[in-house]
Amino acid sequence: MVEKGKTAVFSSGAAEPVGPYSQAIAAGSLIFISGQLGMDLKKGKLSETVEGQTRLALESIKKIIEEASGCLDDVVKTTVLFADMDDFSAVDEVYAGFFKEPYPARAAFQVAKLPLNAMVEIEAVARLKER
């Protein structure tokens, strides 16, 4: 657990930020994970489907949390941003495969546009375990 201040968390298993922000910041007993896109790191581009983008975004979140010695069970809140809210069911189907009950609290919004013309972006807050 980080006692004071804030510490940047970086995982090579997740896409590098596309702007002046950190992949995640650990502060106190929480880690705040920036919005993750469904980037296929091997291909260097977004997945072509909303299901693929959702899976890759959640895998990036998982890798970032693991870098901070946590796991997906530690996620307490997510925010899902949609380019098209009609993709809600498709995203939910993939999302449900990553989390178990009790599910994290969640907010979901349709936005005008996402970075790199992504279909979905997901951010998360997780608790950190004591070290």
The contacts of residue 43 (CB under 8 Å, 6+ apart) are none
Question: Does some domain include residue 105?
Answer: yes
Spatial separation of the C-alpha atoms in residues 99 and 1, rounded to whole Å: 23
Query: Which pLDDT band holds residue 129 (cuts at 50, 70, 90)?
Result: confident
30 sits in which H/E element: strand 30-37
Question: Does some domain include residue 77?
Answer: yes
pTM of the model: 0.93
Question: Does some domain include residue 1?
Answer: no
Q: What is the largest CA-CA distance in the chain?
A: 42
Query: Which pLDDT band holds residue 131 (cuts at 50, 70, 90)?
Result: very low
Residue with tokens 């004071």: 4
> What is the per-residue pLDDT across 22-34, written as a single tens digit (0 to 9) for each?
999 999 999 999 9
pLDDT at 32: 98
> What is the per-residue pLDDT across 47-76, written as a single tens digit (0 to 9) for each?
999 999 999 999 999 999 999 999 999 999
Which range marks the domain in which residue 42 is found? 6-127
Would you say residue 1 has pLDDT above 60?
Answer: no
Total structural domains in the chain? 1
Would you say residue 4 has pLDDT above 70?
Answer: no
Question: Does some domain include residue 109?
Answer: yes
pLDDT at 2: 41
CATH of the domain at 57: 3.30.1330.40
pLDDT at 19: 87
pLDDT averaged over the chain?
93
Would you say residue 109 has pLDDT above 90?
Answer: yes
